[in-house]
Structure 1
Amino acid sequence: MWHDLSSVQIPIAEKILRTVAVYVLIVVLFRLSGKRGLANLNTFDFVVIFLLSNVVQNAVIGNDNSLLGGVIGAVTLVTVNALLNRWLARDRRAARIVEGRPTTVIEDGRLIPAALSHLALRPSEVEHAVRLQNGDAVEDVALGRLDPDGQLIVILKHERQSATRADIARLEDRLAAIQLLLAAGPPRT
């Protein structure tokens, strides 16, 4: 039993190479499939991810069912992912190539149909994201863009934004000035 758990049935270098190759393939596939990323997964996206993990399992582990073989594959995946994340954090050009660029989907309160079509986004998904970010409707948005990580970033039109502390402070100052004028009484002529 212990022998079966610890005996790697294919060469370790091959296992590492298989794991890295599958990782790179999955990254490329997700990059080509668009920016929706994990932030906006729908039911169909979840089904694909679950099936994808099963489909590539044998490509990663080969004919190796040992515990040690699985550990080698897992450590390789985590290591490659950590190295890729560190590289992308340091190299903007590499990050732009691997992750892509933001795409504007709302401009001055109007959806951009070509961008939505290109990203395979439905207007209802964008409207939902706007509501999550304190907008009542797409018409409230000055600019909305889908970032490479799948997050929809919304900048509301100035008149639709919530009051800030600075806005409240300005109103308090104006109110104090009005109270001073009222306390001073009518102007003398």
Structure 2
Amino acid sequence: MRYVFFENWTHVWHMDLMTFISFMALFILIRISGKRTLAKFNAFDFIVTVALGSVLAYMMLAKITFTEGLLVLLLIIGLQYLFARLSRASDTMDQVLNASPRLLLYKGHYLEDSMKKEAITKNEIFAVIRKEGLAKIKYVLAVVIEPDGEISVIEKNGGSAEHNTIDNLNVPDKS
């Protein structure tokens, strides 16, 4: 705690160099690994993003060596890639690793069991509907919580029966 504001110039330059090298290394790894690395499709993708940021901070502050940090970054990105491949290859793994969308409101009826499981209130659903520019629930076919936690509002499609069915929402079930 002796050096609160300044230790020495060597330490400052070391932090600058580590920040530059670490940032460039992560940037290159993300470009190589593809867009999925920073996507927010599911909980695992969120964890990957947080973990990458944490490792980058430790590397920048020289709390771990560059080599250690690089290996951890490679491991995190590799695990994310492996889990994405497993999820794609197996429906069972997909169900284990990824959340499913869930209906919260359908044709004016709140699905209380779904709302309870997702810890969503009627007021939160109203707020999302208002953000979509809709004044009343009667204009809404469905409200769905997506796997990434976002809430989607699907407007009624001019009253057409063929467009106003749960099958067209591509949501597994009502609960």
Higher relative contact order (CA 8 A, sep 6+): 1
Q: Which has more radius of gyration?
A: 1
**TM-score, structure 1 normalization:** 0.45
